């Protein structure tokens, strides 16, 4: 099904897709950001079939969610079996072996030897909310630091931590108070115009020397929230020692380091959690998206001594639903037993190298960066000024869509490759070919 020769010539959107778009425009909240008119009939493995019979190679994976591909038979079977046994009981009120089993599994997988505890919820934002509440509750401190470019979700606490696009916060104030944003280690566009490693990570010193010294007393700061690889902000990989310097800063002032691994976790970067690339142990981890291959479940994992809030302090009716937990456990089995992290490293490395080669001959590609199957391509109008090629990002994505490849943007001017972790080398090569073709087409226009 992945051989490009067998795909029908794309004529998108077809009549069924157009009809669904019209129905959506009449019935659905206009706040939903639609990338292109993909109307989905079904998915299998790496492929999506639309309602008009067109086939697409999926390198978006429902925003980095479908880790084991669409409808992996082992995940589907686990869901079916659990659905026949029990749909819901409320793992917060009763003892559900599925909830407890997944909690044990995640506590085991989280980096570090200290015992962990796990709270299960339904979405990335809910895991972040839980972490924010726990950090305040445990430390008794009100303030929190997060990063520009960060995306932590859209509920009130999570959106207050989010600073990737102003539309996410605009009109929703007053937000949760006590949150300050500082520049991420985005070396391609260093906020201080410095170069790594000569900069000696001035971006971490800034937090201590400016923020803590001038407005945000460190002993009032409960936590630093960080995405070990920044996701929605542009698929940005920080330099090697950055996360460990943040860890040291947190340790110095008794601040919790919270790793938001909602997008980067569960094997996507070639390790179970991206933060393991730098051998750093966070105090709390938030996980969601890829955890259950598409079923809604998320987790907030914390060291046992930190998760010391009393009964009733936090909970959720649906969080850790048994069907979702079954999907999550099957997903974790597939990721480990089918060597999907190794695959992410191997295929991701090949795709990254191809894109880096393409950058040599492209005048639009400014930067290519990636870890495993979390790969970002930043487009610029000018290699010197790095003026952002925002329109071209959209044009390339639309051209890919017309050619049968699903991609999404990230940050103001980047394109992300976040395929299912099952992608084969030949599928990655096909994705690369289509992308290169689409890019050339757009470059022709913008010469």
State the residues that interact with ligand PLP by CB under 6 A: 63, 123-125, 128, 151-153, 227, 231-232, 260, 262-263, 288
Contact 430, 4 (CB under 8 A): yes
With contact defined as beta carbons under 8 Å apart, do 356 and 406 qualify? no
Tokens of 26: 């009449």
User: Which one, 151 or 184, has the nearer CB to ligand PLP?
Assistant: 151
Min dist CB 131 to ligand PLP, Å, is 10
* Shorter beta-carbon distance to ligand PLP: residue 226 or 439: 226
In angstroms, what is the minimal distance from the CB of 91 to ligand PLP?
Answer: 19
Q: How far is the CB of 110 from ligand PLP (least distance, A)?
A: 17
Using Cβ positions, the residue closest to ligand PLP within the complex turns out to be: 124
- Sheet of 256-260: strand order equals 116-121, 298-303, 284-287, 256-260, 221-226, 143-147, 179-182
User: Which of 143, 152 has the CB closer to ligand PLP?
Assistant: 152
Q: Return the SS3 of 374.
A: strand
CB of 297 or CB of 307, closer to ligand PLP: 297
Q: Determine whether 447 is exposed, middle or buried from the number of CB atoms within 10 Å of its CB (0-12, 13-18, 19+).
A: exposed
Compute the least distance from the CB of residue 238 to ligand PLP, in Å: 14
Q: Smaller CB distance to ligand PLP: residue 299 or 442? A: 299
Nearer to ligand PLP, 158 or 218 (CB): 158
Cis preceding-peptide flag for 197 (omega within 30 of 0): yes
Instruction: Report in angstroms how near the CB of residue 64 gets to ligand PLP at its nearest.
Output: 7
- Are the beta carbons of 159 and 406 closer than 8 angstroms? no
Report helix angle 390-402 to 425-446, nearest 10.
Answer: 130
C-beta of 125 vs 221, nearer to ligand PLP: 125
* Shortest Å, Cβ 152 to ligand PLP: 5
CB of 193 to ligand PLP, least distance (A): 27
Tell me what percent of the chain is helix, strand and coil, each rounded to the nearest 5.
Answer: 40, 20, 40
Own/partner contacts of 211-218, CB < 8 Å, gap of 24 or more, are 211/145, 211/180, 211/182, 212/253, 215/180, 216/143, 216/145, 216/180, 217/143, 218/252, 218/253, 218/255
């Amino acid at each position: 099904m992945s051989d490009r020769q067998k795909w029908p010539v794309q004529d998108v959107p077809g009549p069924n897709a157009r009809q669904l778009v019209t129905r959506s425009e009449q019935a659905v909240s206009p706040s939903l950001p639609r990338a292109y008119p993909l109307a989905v009939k079904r998915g299998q493995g790496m492929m999506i079939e639309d309602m008009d019979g067109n086939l697409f190679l999926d390198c978006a994976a429902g925003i980095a969610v479908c880790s084991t591909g669409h409808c992996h038979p082992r995940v589907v079977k686990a869901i079916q079996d659990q659905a026949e046994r029990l749909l819901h009981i409320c793992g917060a009120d009763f003892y559900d072996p599925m909830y407890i089993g997944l909690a044990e599994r995640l506590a085991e997988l989280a980096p570090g030897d200290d015992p962990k505890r796990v709270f299960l919820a339904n979405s990335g934002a809910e895991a972040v909310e839980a972490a924010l509440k726990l950090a305040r509750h445990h430390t008794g401190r009100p303030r929190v630091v997060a990063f520009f470019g960060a995306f932590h979700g859209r509920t009130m606490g999570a959106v207050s931590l989010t600073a990737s696009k102003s539309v996410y916060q605009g009109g929703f104030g007053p937000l949760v108070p006590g949150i300050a944003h500082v520049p991420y280690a985005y070396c391609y566009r260093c906020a201080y115009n410095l170069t790594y490693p000569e900069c000696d990570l001035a971006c971490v010193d800034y937090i201590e020397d400016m923020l803590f010294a001038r407005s945000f007393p460190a002993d009032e700061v409960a936590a630093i929230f960080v995405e070990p690889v920044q996701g929605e902000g542009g698929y940005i990989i920080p330099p090697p020692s950055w996360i460990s310097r943040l860890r040291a800063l947190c340790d110095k002032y008794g601040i919790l380091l919270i790793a938001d691994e909602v997008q980067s976790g569960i094997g996507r970067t070639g390790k179970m959690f991206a933060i393991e690339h730098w051998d750093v142990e966070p105090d709390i981890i938030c996980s969601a998206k890829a955890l259950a291959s598409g079923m809604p479940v998320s987790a907030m994992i914390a060291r046992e001594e930190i998760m010391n809030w009393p009964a009733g302090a936090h909970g959720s009716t649906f969080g850790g639903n048994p069907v979702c937990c079954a999907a999550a456990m099957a997903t974790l089995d597939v990721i480990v037993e089918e060597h999907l992290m190794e695959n992410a490293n191997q295929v991701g490395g090949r795709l990254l190298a191809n894109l880096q080669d393409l950058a040599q001959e492209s005048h639009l590609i400014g930067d290519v960066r990636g870890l495993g199957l979390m790969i970002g391509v930043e487009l610029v109008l000018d290699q010197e000024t790095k003026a952002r090629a925002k329109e071209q990002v959209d044009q390339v994505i639309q051209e890919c869509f017309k050619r049968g490849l699903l991609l999404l943007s990230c940050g103001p001017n980047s394109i992300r490759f976040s395929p299912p972790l099952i992608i084969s080398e030949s599928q990655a090569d096909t994705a690369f070919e289509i992308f290169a073709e689409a890019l050339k087409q757009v470059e022709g226009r913008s010469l």
